[in-house]
Structure 1
């Protein structure tokens, strides 16, 4: 007994190694995970919130108080005829995923698991979208309100476009007016590389958005350990938000933020000079976020939570800060001043005839219900335990004690993403259309589902059925 206590004391003094794959091995206990308390009640609240949000939206629309949206709180309309036969391939893929994904996640060598998660997530998103026909992947990007419709104004001179972007904002298409110039620069880069057209753009968007499954798995391995990362992979692949991965530009934003965070986590866990380029790459990607969408600023809570979890060295932080400054400095020197862009976008939003007139009180509640639709019942069931983990960690006085709280490595990024959503929701910046806007946040909240003890096939099936139901009943504009 004395020897055992002495060995435990030595282990506690040593702490986690810098080159260990997991930041806190104690965060993933070898014993089966305890039962999630309050989970059933949370699922009941999840279902009731969805019913209430759509019922209230129907009443508002009938009373003539809802604007712009045919199926509030979604910016979509109900399908006249559900695509039953057309959805059979996606349903078959879902059934195969529920059966196979837990096995692959448990047994596949780690080096192959993130690429497999990427491929699986892309296949799931494409299978759902394909139920609308062969041209469905690029169709949302062909709308006259989308970014490609504004390419004619950028082509003559991209530098002049940046310098005058704020001054000429009122003349651009709807989505260009609502965002910084970053998305248009992505389109310009693709066209310059010979990949112009909405087909190539759709491929890039789906590839970036589905790659977040791999990036989040890599991040969780650094913050919570390999067991937690493996448990999360099936839920990241069969995510309910997949209908908006194919094809919404917000999926591209998701990919940029997810890989920026993953590189930050990897850099923080590595020892030696190899960590510096990874940290610089993380900063470069994260520095793009405010220039892709103004609403992505609260997403920085996720990489901050990851850095708090893994505690990087000063050299890594310095490299990350240097990379973070590159894009803001470059675009500022080229003539785009970010605060002026925010003000101009807000001005065009306030004078718009639709979205600015939406009810704040209704969407304050309904937008959170849409977040539940994106994350699914499995996350609702796991959320009480995730919030409980964060509460227990907050009560502890030292970082070393907090690092030993089981499940903290998954709770921190999930809780940070949820905090970002709440900030946007309460601010009133986002009123409606959040089925796409919440996607970069919803993917990180999906990490909470890792608390379900594998194989968790019932919860995985519930997630897949949620996505299938959305695709069958809702015709989205993106």
Structure 2
């Protein structure tokens, strides 16, 4: 199969998945099965924006031809800064037509609404978090306590209100572009990272980076992975891995849905093989986070049980499992864009018929079937091009969440931390207009979907 035919096939599959999810969702909504979702598989409403998107469209028209040249030719540090600046501008310009980035954080079901109950006693609030869970707003009931403590600390620093919270989320969420770029550079080489940076900066997922606390989770997780692979000297390596352990250990306390995310740092760590002291530092950092929350009175398994009880009583739990098993993947396709579909198709072809010898392929497949985790990652790393070992890990994590059934709809924000890693595959698309397609997808999502986040 030629690259052009392969790309066309991937695009048809992408369009078919997305269109099919919307078509079936419309039928289910009309029949009253999905009464709480007005634009399934998305949790939003249809709208039609035109002139309000002109600034974002104008920016994309400049960034699409300029950013790839800049990230390819400038020093790597400059390339990362350029991608970060582009991600910030793109995200803010996309959010501007929807009452600005601060608007979603004014909602009474968001984290800021519970700050008066935290008051000046965060430890007391933490100790009673599980037992008082039913009285909290929706997003607080659906998450561990750390997101509230983050916005509480921000307010304690004098940055009160929805705008500082929104700016923090955008700044941290967009920084995932740099963190993922650094990780890809270490795992797959600088050329692969340079190709990925423009796609990360202009990812369609940016539509929800400006509106959801999950973007903060994405940034924290991405830097947790990046710190595992930074630092060349033994001392700096141990320190950075300790920081990685703290960030990665905090993920389950930011969102219960981030537990499968931990597969990504495991795969990256096996691929780069950090020294034993660095591994111990990472594990120690993660253990310190768990110990701190336990000492503060929050027991994570009890929080999971309490949140699950709230979820089963929520109307969202009655959504049809089989529809969202597929529709959730259609939402992931929207967040990652059509170029990612083409890149994934190319990666799959390389996995099956890649340019390795027959004997090498046989050995790799034997490892895939029979080997331990280390052999599995080595086999993937040999067969998959350009660092898509991290893409594979992110996809497996998404599938685990999807099959679990606890993510039935409203995943456009939940998928953000995973979607950015999957978007790395877009850099493999042998398609002249791949980056343009990504930007257009983001503009269409912002222009046609009114999201509550």
Same fold (TM over 0.5): yes
Show structure 1 runs of 5+ residues with no match. Answer: 1-33
Q: Pick from 238, 243, 252 the counterpart of residue 281 of structure 1.
A: 243
Q: Which residue pairs with 1:471 in the alignment?
A: 446
Structure-2 separation of matches of 1:207 and 1:74: 25
C-alpha distance in structure 2 between counterparts of 1:232 and 1:249, whole Å? 24
Give the match for residue 25 of structure 1. none
For 1:270-349, list aligned pairs within 5 A: 270-349=232-311
Tell me the TM-score normalized by structure 1: 0.88
Q: Deviations over 1:178-223 (max 9, x none)?
A: 0000100101110111111111000000001100011110000000
- 1:395 is aligned to 2:370: no
Flag the 1:272–1:37 CA change in 2: closer, same or farther, 3 A: farther
> Do the aligned partners of 1:209 and 1:251 also contact (CA within 8 Å) in 2?
yes
**Cα distance, 1:307 vs. partner?**
1.0
Partner of 2:357: none
Correspondence for 2:206: 242
Report the alpha carbon displacement of residue 452 of structure 1 after superposing the two structures with TM: 3.2
Residue 312 of structure 1, CA deviation: 1.2
**Cα distance, 1:390–1:342 mapped onto 2, change above 3 Å:** farther
Query: Match for residue 142 of structure 1?
Result: 106
1:262 matches 2:223: no
Q: 1:373 aligns with which of 323, 331, 334?
A: 334
> Aligned residue for 1:107?
73
Shift of 1:344: 0.2
Find the aligned partners of 2:378 and 2:298 in 1 and give their Cα distance: 45
Structure 2 SS opposite 1:367: helix
1:187 aligned onto 2:148: no
Q: Offset at 1:226?
A: 0.3
d(CA) in 2 for partners of 1:184, 1:136: 22
Matches within 5 A, 1:31-42: 35=3, 38-42=6-10
Give the TM-score of the pair, scaled to structure 2: 0.93
Select 1:429's aligned residue among 390, 393, 406: 406
The whole-number CA distance in structure 2 between the counterparts of 1:293 and 1:356 is 18
Q: Residue 196 and residue 309 in structure 1: after superposition, are their counterparts in 2 closer, same or farther (change >3 A)?
A: same
Query: Are the equivalent residues in 2 in contact too, given 1:370–1:434 (CA < 8 A)?
Result: yes
Residues of 2 paired with 1:169 and 1:390: CA distance?
Answer: 46
Alignment match, 1:4: none
1:67-106 to 2 correspondence within 5 Å?
67-79=35-47, 82-106=48-72
Q: What residue number does 2:216 align with?
A: 252
Distance 1:335 1:424 in 2: 27
Could you tell me which runs of 5 or more consecutive residues in structure 2 were left unpaired when the two chains were aligned.
355-360, 368-374
The equivalent residue for 1:124 is 90
CA deviation digits over 1:440-459, x for unaligned, max 9? Answer: 00000011122235xx5500
- Maintained 8 Å contact 2:67/2:83: no
Residues 265-292 of structure 1 show CA distances to partners (whole Å, capped at 9, x for unaligned) of 224xx24221111110111110110000
Q: Do the aligned residues in 2 keep the contact of 1:309 with 1:409 (CA within 8 Å)?
A: no
Question: What is the CA distance between 1:39 and its match in structure 2?
Answer: 3.0
User: Per the alignment, do residues 46 and 408 of structure 1 end up closer, same or farther by CA in structure 2, a change over 3 Å counting?
Assistant: same
Among 142, 151, 176, the alignment partner of 2:140 is 176
Cα separation, 1, equivalents of 2:278 and 2:442: 39
- Measure the CA separation in 2 of the matches of 1:299 and 1:311: 19
Structure 1 position 404, deviation (Å): 7.0
CA, structure 1 residues 115+396, in 2 after alignment: closer, same or farther (shift >3 Å)? farther
Cα 1:158–1:355 change in 2 (3 A) is same
Structure 2 equivalent of residue 59 of structure 1 = 27
- Aligned partner of 1:410 among 387, 391, 411: 387
Structure 1 CA distance for aligned equivalents of residues 178 and 407 of structure 2? 28
What are the superposed Cα offsets for residues 314-357 of structure 1, whole Å, 9 maximum, x if unpaired? 111111111111211101111000000000000011112x2111
Distance 2:250 2:138 in 1: 21
Q: Deviations over 1:106-140 (max 9, x none)?
A: 111112121221111111010111123xx421111
Deviation, 1:36, is 7.5
Q: CA deviation at 1:386?
A: 2.2
Could you tell me how far apart the structure 2 residues matched to 1:73 and 1:332 are? 37
Is the contact made by 1:390 and 1:411 (CA closer than 8 Å) also made in structure 2?
no
Secondary structure at the residue paired with 1:165? Answer: coil
1:212 and 1:259 in contact (8 A); partners too:
yes
RMSD after superposition:
1.8
Query: Distance in 1 between the 2:133 and 2:424 partners?
Result: 38
Q: CA deviation at 1:67?
A: 3.1
